[in-house]
């Protein structure tokens, strides 16, 4: 199994969980989610909203990588089913 931090969280921008976490941590702490998401995804699509939101909400606390990995897997299953 892939290291969770190396999983692709955003297919559009080809960003990993670790890259997205770094971007969120380096962003202004007062930036709203929508603008922070755009820093990671570089688009307005909603396909990665659930795992990105989970990562964004815990940027000051311990990240639950297992939960984020599960959300990414669920997203991938839904995208393959379409």
Domain ranges of the chain: 4-81
Query: For 43, which DSSP code?
Result: S
pLDDT tens digits, residue range 26-53?
988 899 989 999 999 988 888 888 999 9
Distance between CA atoms of 69 and 29, rounded to whole angstroms?
24
Instruction: State the average pLDDT for the chain.
Output: 87
pLDDT at 15: 93
Q: Please, which residues bridge with residue 8 across strands?
A: 16
CB atoms within 10 A of CB 74: 12
Least Cα distance to 13 among 54, 35, 44 occurs for: 44
pTM of this structure: 0.78
Return the residue matching tokens 């702490």: 29
Give the percent of the chain with pLDDT over 90. Answer: 37
Report the alpha-carbon angle 81-78-55, nearest 5. 160
């Amino acid at each position: 199994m892939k290291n969770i931090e190396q999983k692709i969280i955003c297919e559009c921008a080809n960003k990993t969980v670790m890259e997205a976490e770094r971007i969120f941590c380096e962003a202004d702490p007062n930036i709203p989610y929508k603008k922070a998401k755009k820093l990671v995804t570089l688009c307005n699509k909603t396909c990665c909203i659930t795992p990105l939101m989970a990562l964004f909400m815990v940027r000051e606390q311990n990240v639950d990588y297992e939960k984020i990995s599960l959300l990414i897997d669920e997203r991938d299953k839904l995208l393959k089913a379409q």
